[in-house]
Amino acid sequence: MDPVNFPRILPQAIRDGFQGTFSRQPKRFQMEDSQYRVKRESVAQLFVYSLSWKMTWLETQIFEAWIEYSLAQGAGYFTIKIGGVPTLVRPLTAAPVYTPMGIKWGVKMDVEELRAKPVVSSRTGVLPVWPTSLPVYEQDSYSIGKVLPMTRTDIESGYPDERVRFKQRLTQFTGKILCTPEQRELFWDYHRDTLINGSAWFMGPFASARSTDFQRVRFVESPVETPTGAWYSITMKLETVNAPIMSREEFLQYSDFINDYVEADYIEDDYVGRYTD
């Protein structure tokens, strides 16, 4: 069955409720050195969009009939503009959902697109760099989580054992970038072709209390795009093993204070001062 176009008589999808991300995460295997190996599920990846419409009663009827007859009850492909780009998609089995919204109907449908294969270039031995035309993370929703290099007993009785197992400090962080429609396209092209669907390491922005610089980072999960006004927010979770930390020499410059703190037993002093005066 040949793909059909989304009917012109129906309204365009609205921004509310829009979301796009890959339908499957790459497999990650933890190796003995605490690093992860990434294996992609397939060469070309499936991308899922959540689309929403606000339709009149008649438009909703036409939409239902269009799925029934033009899309062979939802089994067919159709072309619709997403982010201004004509995209070939097909409905997922769980969609669509109709909810009354005042005098109109809210219609939600999840669709999937088979994205093009990455254009893999020959190995250069040089890490790709975050494109200068892409923004860095917003302060809003940026967070860093240190993965402690510990291993802990998995027996659920007694006092659990713990020890440091790995030398490397894995740091995972989440960030959100705000993109124009052009930057959004550039981001997904960079993610697919240069980062081979997000599985390659690259020099990307990383901010911590120590420094705000570019570090060797990699995607942990597939990015998720949502609309923000006329722009797009792309939320991403990344990891690095190169998070900068204060050197031991620099740390020792504060050793007097640190030793004072321990020897003076500030905790007890605070306690005495606060509750006995």
Binding site for other proteins (CB under 8 A): 29, 37-40, 42-46, 114, 117, 120, 123, 196, 199-200
For residues 13 and 83, is the Cβ–Cβ distance under 8 A? no
Rounded distance between C-alpha atoms, residue 150 and residue 168, angstroms: 11
Residue 31: Cβ within 10 Å count: 8
CB of 120 to other proteins, least distance (A): 5
Rounded distance between C-alpha atoms, residue 130 and residue 172, angstroms: 18
CB of 220 to other proteins, least distance (A): 14
CB of 188 to other proteins, least distance (A): 17
Give phi and psi for 266, each to the nearest 5: -60, -30
For residues 144 and 129, is the Cβ–Cβ distance under 8 A? no
Residue 176: Cβ within 10 Å count: 19
Choose between 54 and 115: whose C-beta lies nearer to other proteins.
Answer: 115
CB of 127 to other proteins, least distance (A): 13
CB of 178 to other proteins, least distance (A): 28
Choose between 108 and 117: whose C-beta lies nearer to other proteins.
Answer: 117
Choose between 34 and 199: whose C-beta lies nearer to other proteins.
Answer: 199
Q: Which residue is it, tokens 């270039």?
A: 121
Rounded distance between C-alpha atoms, residue 103 and residue 165, angstroms: 61
Side chain identity at residue 235, one-letter code: T
CB of 144 to other proteins, least distance (A): 25
Choose between 19 and 199: whose C-beta lies nearer to other proteins.
Answer: 199
DSSP label at residue 129: B
Choose between 8 and 123: whose C-beta lies nearer to other proteins.
Answer: 123
For residues 132 and 190, is the Cβ–Cβ distance under 8 A? no
Choose between 65 and 127: whose C-beta lies nearer to other proteins.
Answer: 127
Rounded distance between C-alpha atoms, residue 204 and residue 264, angstroms: 44
